[in-house]
């Protein structure tokens, strides 16, 4: 049913993604699908990586670790944005289409009053993606 699972990941929040990572791996195993871990980074140096190339290397290492840990085919795609704070949703939507993903699995947070002002990334992707989106709380 699914061939390619897209998993948007923020490498600075890995410790909060345990349940979503396990869910994506379980679905990928069940459907013999690939998981592509997609991350968005800026062009300027940041605490997690000094350059987009360093970020891409860290994301590739993360994908390899997850693939080995869960026994799934895992790849990565690092996307660069001049300003990830405002471009992340658009950048992720473009990556989902370019990669040919047919399922997106994302970690999300419990809704709060603030979500009426600023939607979370998961909300936006679920509302606008042309593919199935599985939000994990």
Beta strands, E only, the chain: 4-8, 34-42, 74-81, 103-107, 132-136
Mean pLDDT of the chain: 89
Distance between CA 120 and CA 2 in Å, rounded?
Answer: 25
Who contacts 25 (Cβ-Cβ below 8 Å, separation ≥6)? 35, 66, 69, 70, 72
Q: Please state the pTM of the whole predicted model.
A: 0.90
pLDDT tens figures, 91-123: 999 999 999 999 999 988 555 544 444 556 677
pLDDT of residue 36: 98
Give mean pLDDT, residues 16-25. 95
pLDDT tens digits along 59-72: 999 999 999 999 99
């Amino acid at each position: 049913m699914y061939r390619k699972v897209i998993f948007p990941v923020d490498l600075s929040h890995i410790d909060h993604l345990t349940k979503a990572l396990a869910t994506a791996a379980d679905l990928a195993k069940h459907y013999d699908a690939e998981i592509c871990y997609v991350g968005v980074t800026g062009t300027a140096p940041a605490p997690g990586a000094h350059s987009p190339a360093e970020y891409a290397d860290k994301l590739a290492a993360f994908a390899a670790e997850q693939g080995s840990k869960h026994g799934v085919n895992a790849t990565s795609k690092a996307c660069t944005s001049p300003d990830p704070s405002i471009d992340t949703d658009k950048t992720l939507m473009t990556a989902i289409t370019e990669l040919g993903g047919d399922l997106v699995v994302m970690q999300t947070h419990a809704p709060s009053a603030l979500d009426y002002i600023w939607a979370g990334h998961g909300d936006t992707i679920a509302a606008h993606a042309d593919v199935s989106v599985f939000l994990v709380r």
